[in-house]
Chains A and B, each alone.
Chain A
Amino acid sequence: MAKVTIPIGPQHPALKEPECFIVTLDGERISHLDMRLGYNHRGIEKACEARTYVQDVYLIERVCGICSHSHSTCFVQAVEEIAGLQIPPRATYIRTLIAELERVHSHLLWLGVAGHEIGFDTLLMYTWRDREAVMDIFAALTGNRVNYGMNTLGGVRRDFTKEQLAEVLKVIDICEERTKYYIEVCTQEPTVINRLSGIGHLSHDDAMRLGTVGPTGRASAVDKDVRRDDPYLAYKDLSFKVILDNHNDVFGRAVVRVLELMESYKLIREIIAKMPDGPVTVKAPRKIPAGEAFSRYEAPRGEDSHYIRANGTDKPERVRVRAPTMANLQSVAKMLEDNNLADVPIAIAAIDPCFSCTDRMIGIRTGKGTGNSIRWDDLRNYGVKWYRKQGIDFTDLNRKLAKKQE
């Protein structure tokens, strides 16, 4: 079958823009996907070696702004293990509380983004409005909406009062009510089901082979969850379900995330109920003795792993960070094989990549090697229109959700 060029490009065709995803088309089907990454490469691992451990806590937090607590906790866990520090139980519970709240805000964020990618914009407005309640909690508890700065070597930097924790419970109650409605929408509305099913298919075996983690993997029945498999923080004492699904597609990834929201609400209640009294920090040495540790953490996107080697000084010898998105990006090429061009935005969004990855150029290639570039937003609009022609239109659903008031 003849391969065709898509002549879409808002930039001047002569300008060579660095592209992130390069899609080769065979007709309208994708035959191959290539990735050119590195736009966010800031050289953090090297920078860590020139800063003290305490400074690194703040730097590592900013690897990704959405799961900042994940990275900083994974880091301090490793350092505390090398130093042989036993942190107080209350600190462990506080870290776990922030961790689960982060999962809630991240999944709500994802739901909105996914809605936006398929043209279901009311969902974006509603989930992000709910998310604001969680952001308010973060601001009240930690002083910042994002990048909370809760961790320090040896514990946490702030303690919470009973009143603050009571506020958290109130917000969780509201979020849970609203999430129940989102679950209904995701799992029962035919428009949503039709739009998301069958897209970005990734079999269980491929997901295992490619090292897929987090909700993306669990939607292909990959039974990995670091909270259960390699317990850290307070998870040994808490009860929760690991949500598995076997749709193997974008629909499954949505289902896993909304159900995980419900589990997180339960976890937050349990954490607050069981929170022990006591100090929130122990004194940590400035110089960390020589040693090494490998720390794992279940971030909202999946397994985050850090390896740290200490050399007896106040600066680390080596800090190695592997964010979950890096593991999941490997499976994007497989997922998009034989999909339509219109599926690219939602399939990539469904692995919940860092936002910056989606604000990139996509290159379209043909067999002849020539091609054009298209901006992500234009590709998204193309996708929405393409599916509208197939009869999948979100206008009615947008209206219906907007009608449903508080």
Chain B
Amino acid sequence: MANEEAIKAELTGKFPFLADKIVIKRERRLFADVPQDRFREVFEHAARKMDFVHLCIITGLDDGDNLLFIYHMAKLDGTVLNLKTTAPKSNPAIKTITDIFPGGVIYERELVDLLGAKVEGLPPGKRYPLPDDWPPNQYPLRKDWKPEMLEGKDGRKEEVKNG
């Protein structure tokens, strides 16, 4: 797996704090844990200097005391680099990457709506995907949120019945 080893070597060479944080799962799949304060640099280097020109998606998930964010980046030859970073739930602040990948704005909005992340530098715009009348401070993808928590918050209760 020469290709994957070369990618790992370049990342570790440029960012020594990533040594033993990079795992080659199989051909064309690398996973790396990046500390939040150095995330931007690593991400930018991968996107601009290592040909990871395609952002497939950003996954956010509830990881106990933290929120975990995974940025899935791909090269045109099919190699996917999955960069993971965390932010504590007490202050789930991350920086936007929409200056590098404008198409990523919709994934960042999802992180805000569904997990309660705070994305610094996110361009203004309508929320996605939750409706405008969604109650505040309810983040569906957090593990402690249950659909029952929405009960009784509907507003318009009466139904239209035809005579």
Contact = CB atoms under 8 A, between A and B. Distances in A.
Interface stretch (A206-214, A367-375, A379-387): A206-214
Contacts of A45: 114, 141
A292 B72 contact: no
Given A294-B72, A327-B103, A330-B105, A38 B61 contact: no
B92 interface: no
B106 A229 contact: no
A371 B11 CA distance: 51
A307 B54 contact: no
Interface stretch (B13-21, B35-43, B77-85, B152-160): B77-85
B129 A307 contact: no
B128 A292 contact: no
Interface in A243-259: none
Contacts of B140: 43, 46
Contacts of B53: 208
Interface residues of B, number: 38
B50 interface: no
Contacts of B161: none
A104 B57 CA distance: 27
Contacts of A41: 129-130
Contact of B131 (A35, A38, A231): A38
Contacts, number: 85
A5 B101 CA distance: 33
Given A41-B129, A46-B140, A331 B103 contact: yes
B96 interface: no
B70 interface: yes
A28 interface: no
B76 A229 contact: yes
Given A294-B72, A305-B72, A211 B54 contact: yes
Interface stretch (A87-95, A260-268, A314-322): A314-322
A130 interface: no
Interface in A345-373: none
Interface string A63-88: 00000000000000000010000000
Interface string B105-144: 1110000001000000000011111110000000011000
9 contacts: A37-B128, A41-B129, A43-B140, A208-B53, A229-B77, A303-B56, A305-B72, A307-B70, A330-B105
Interface of B: 25-26, 28-29, 31, 53-57, 59, 61, 70, 72, 74, 76-78, 80, 82, 101-107, 114, 125-131, 140-141, 147
